[in-house]
Amino acid sequence: MDAPASNLERPRFDRIEYTTVAEQVRDRLMDSIRDGYFLPGSQLPAERQLCEEFGVARTSVREAIQQLVSLGVVQRKSSRLHVVDYLGVVSSPAAGHEREIRELFETRRVIEISMTGLAAQKATDRTRAEIACLSEGFDSDVELSQFRDQDHHFHAAIATACGNPLLAELYGRVLRALFESPAFAALLYTQINRASVQEIIKNSAEHHRRIASAIVDGDSKIASIAAGDHLAEVERRMLSQLI
Amino acid sequence: MDAPASNLERPRFDRIEYTTVAEQVRDRLMDSIRDGYFLPGSQLPAERQLCEEFGVARTSVREAIQQLVSLGVVQRKSSRLHVVDYLGVVSSPAAGHEREIRELFETRRVIEISMTGLAAQKATDRTRAEIACLSEGFDSDVELSQFRDQDHHFHAAIATACGNPLLAELYGRVLRALFESPAFAALLYTQINRASVQEIIKNSAEHHRRIASAIVDGDSKIASIAAGDHLAEVERRMLSQLI
DNA sequence: ATATCTTGGTCTGATGGTCAGACCATAACC
DNA sequence: GGTTATGGTCTGACCATCAGACCAAGATAT
């Protein structure tokens, strides 16, 4: 049998980068610290606990911890593991963060406004009801961590309702990038900003109800406008903390 | 020093899955076969060539190949490696391709229209000149592979010009997904569609010049409209082949 | 204050994966 | 037919990971 005449012209294969278990553990721990699950100075789980959760040997965990110690992220104190008291690069609100946050919100705008309009057009009765229900669940006085959870579910429901899995996935990436951004985390978790954050939560509850209402009515134009208004408001309030 | 009072309540860490080099090689090869770079029956590169490209030892490559042989994807024939003649699940052009292509174009619409408008607003003089120059390089009678290369450069320049790296990256992913879609590849490379593909190339050249002109003029509204027109035309012509 | 538990520190030996390299037989190519 | 390319096989060295054991010190409970 002759080989077929036409294959796609293939690119050269990329080199394979070998990632050790210890490196993966290190990165996971770094991510969780950056995400705010372990604040500066706080204690990390014991090595044996980490072994059990990650499903790896203790030597691998110790290797990862040692790397984090070398990076200045973790210290061994009183026979316990702690995040260092002062994190330099991981969470300092420095210059350039405004730009990063602006880009994240701009990207959100590009995707979210159109996607919300699509959701208003294409949602099924069931997803419309679900979005309405989720929007009613936002309480102005809720705790930040609970708000984040509800916010995630609300926006995920809208992304699903737009009926385009690729778009929904891309949007998920953008939201993740925003919430994993050190700049954003710094704003959310710095003690100074607690009152402002509470204000954003209160404000968002109302905006979410407006978006949901437009989606339920199938009005894609109003839904898009509501999404744009919401984003503009959140961005304005977040960025006013940086100036 | 007391530990801070409030950490976010953290989820349990997920188990770390250890992936060997051989498994990564196997998956890379599988992906390239599924993407249409190696058609059924066609020959794969030699082991030594794969070692060199992936940057790994031959034993690792051989392990990967053996796995693919066991999976029935690759066969050893006449002292050469070949994709098997009949692949079951990997690459059949089946129903559902219209939906896939529609979703890809919809996603492109959401991102590309706004991004082109942003590029018109924010491009520097240098990037405007570059985009104009690239748009003049499209020849109506060019070969498909050359057109794809030029098309990629043109759209990449616009993505860069919009000044938002995250958005540019997401857009790159969408374009890649489109060009790597087996359905799209089937349309492009099937012999029957050659005349239609040539028509799309001719049509695109003119559209690209319009987009570039609006960007050079800094007219974001016209740029967005031109981008939307271009996408609608390409989608219409591509999908008319499926019906 | 004492006993117990928890935690980090250190070490061992086994196993699997990966590497570079060598050599051979066979097929492909000129 | 001669040369080159390719897959097949093997070797020895190294690295990463594992499970497990034992010890010292600190934390916690009584």
Give the DSSP letter string of B2-66. PPPS-PPPPPPPPPPPP--HHHHHHHHHHHHHHTTSS-TTPBPPPHHHHHHHHT--HHHHHHHHH
Q: Do residues B117 and B174 both lie within one domain? A: yes
pLDDT tens-digit map of A226-238: 998 898 888 877 7
The verdict on residue A4 lying in a domain is: no
Q: Do residues A108 and A25 both lie within one domain? A: no
Domain count, chain B: 2
Q: Which residues touch A112 (CB under 8 Å, ≥6 apart)? A: A155, A171, A227, A231
What pLDDT is stored for residue B195 in this prediction?
A: 65
What pLDDT is stored for residue B205 in this prediction?
A: 87
B165 near A CB under 8 A: yes
Nearest partner of B125 among B207, B242, B217, B25, judged by Cα: B217
User: CB B43 to CB A110 under 8 A?
Assistant: no
Note the residue count of chain B: 243
Residue A11 has pLDDT above 80, yes or no: no
Nearest partner of A167 among B164, B109, B230, judged by Cα: B109
- Average predicted confidence (pLDDT) for chain A: 80
In this complex, the residue of A38, A109, A167 whose CB is nearest that of residue B107 is A167
What pLDDT is stored for residue A5 in this prediction?
A: 39
Q: Do residues B108 and B172 both lie within one domain? A: yes
Which residue on chain A is closest to B32 by alpha carbon? A10
Residue A20 has pLDDT above 70, yes or no: yes
pLDDT tens-digit map of A142-158: 777 778 778 888 998 99
Residue with token string 């989820």: B11
What pLDDT is stored for residue B61 in this prediction?
A: 92
Per-position b or e across A8-17, b if 16+ CB within 10 A of its CB: beeeebeebe
A104 near B CB under 8 A: yes
The verdict on residue B115 lying in a domain is: yes
Domain residues for the domain of A40 are 21-83
Predicted confidence band at B211 (pLDDT cuts at 50, 70, 90)?
Answer: very high
Nearest partner of B228 among B149, B110, B126, judged by Cα: B110
Distance from CA of A228 to the nearest CA of B (A): 13
The verdict on residue A15 lying in a domain is: no
CB-CB contact of B102 with B231 (8 Å): no
Residue B164: is it exposed, middle or buried by C-beta count within 10 angstroms (0-12/13-18/19+)?
buried
Q: Do residues A64 and A108 both lie within one domain? A: no
Helix axis angle for B58-70 and B21-34, nearest 10°, is 50
Residue B6 has pLDDT above 60, yes or no: no
Of B57, B83, B109, the residue at which a domain comes to its end is: B83
What pLDDT is stored for residue B23 in this prediction?
A: 87
CA of A61 to C1' of D15 (A): 17
Proximity of residue A48 CB to strand C below 7 A: yes
Instruction: List all residues of chain A from 1 to 20 with a beta carbon under 8 Å from chain B.
Output: 1, 3-4, 6-10, 12-16, 18-19
What pLDDT is stored for residue A191 in this prediction?
A: 42
Predicted confidence band at B62 (pLDDT cuts at 50, 70, 90)?
Answer: very high
User: CB A8 to CB B37 under 8 A?
Assistant: yes
Q: Do residues A183 and A227 both lie within one domain? A: yes
Q: Which of A1, A2, A6, A7 to mutate to test the interface with B (most CBs of B within 10 A)?
A: A7
CA of A82 to C1' of C2 (A): 29
**What average pLDDT does range A188-194 have in this prediction?**
53
Q: Do residues A36 and A115 both lie within one domain? A: no
Q: Which residues touch B200 (CB under 8 Å, ≥6 apart)? A: B234, B237, B238
Q: Which residues touch B92 (CB under 8 Å, ≥6 apart)? A: none
Q: Do residues B127 and B77 both lie within one domain? A: no
d(CA B214, CA B184): 29
In this structure, are strands A80-83 and B74-77 parallel, antiparallel, or unpaired? unpaired
**What average pLDDT does range B11-33 have in this prediction?**
85
A16-25, A131-140, A184-193, B151-160: the lowest-pLDDT one: A184-193
- CATH number, domain with residue B155: 1.20.120.530
Contacts of B14 in chain A (CB under 8 A): 28, 53-54
Q: Which residues touch A1 (CB under 8 Å, ≥6 apart)? A: B41, B85
What pLDDT is stored for residue B212 in this prediction?
A: 92
**What average pLDDT does range A86-107 have in this prediction?**
62
Query: Within a 10 A sphere around the Cβ of B135, how many other Cβ atoms?
Result: 23
pLDDT tens-digit map of B76-118: 887 788 888 766 443 333 345 667 777 888 889 889 988 999 9
pLDDT tens-digit map of B173-185: 888 777 767 666 6
Distance from CA of A114 to the nearest CA of B (A): 6
User: CB A7 to CB B42 under 8 A?
Assistant: yes
- CATH number, domain with residue A78: 1.10.10.10
Q: Do residues B115 and B220 both lie within one domain? A: yes
What pLDDT is stored for residue B183 in this prediction?
A: 65
Torsion of CA A116, A120, A123, A124, to 10 degrees: 150
Could you say which nucleotides of strand D lie within 7 A of any protein CB atom?
Answer: 5-11, 16-21, 25-27
pLDDT tens-digit map of A56-93: 999 999 999 998 888 888 888 877 888 887 665 443 33
d(CA B34, CA B54): 18
**What average pLDDT does range A102-109 have in this prediction?**
85
What pLDDT is stored for residue B78 in this prediction?
A: 76
A99 near B CB under 8 A: no
Q: Do residues B79 and B101 both lie within one domain? A: no
The verdict on residue B16 lying in a domain is: no
pLDDT tens-digit map of A33-58: 877 778 878 889 999 999 988 989 99
A43-52, B112-121, B211-220, B231-240: the lowest-pLDDT one: B231-240
Could you say which nucleotides of strand C lie within 7 A of any protein CB atom?
Answer: 6-12, 17-22, 26-28
The complex's ipTM? 0.52
Q: Do residues B110 and B226 both lie within one domain? A: yes
What pLDDT is stored for residue B237 in this prediction?
A: 77
Q: Which of A175-179, A200-204, B113-117 has the highest mean pLDDT?
A: B113-117
Predicted confidence band at A8 (pLDDT cuts at 50, 70, 90)?
Answer: low
Residue B41 has pLDDT above 50, yes or no: yes
Distance from CA of B15 to the nearest CA of A (A): 4
- What tokens does A49 get? 């606990």
d(CA B183, CA B77): 29
Residue B147 has pLDDT above 70, yes or no: yes
In this structure, are strands B74-77 and A74-77 parallel, antiparallel, or unpaired? unpaired
What pLDDT is stored for residue A165 in this prediction?
A: 83
The verdict on residue B190 lying in a domain is: yes
Note the residue count of chain A: 243
Distance from CA of A227 to the nearest CA of B (A): 14
What pLDDT is stored for residue A212 in this prediction?
A: 92
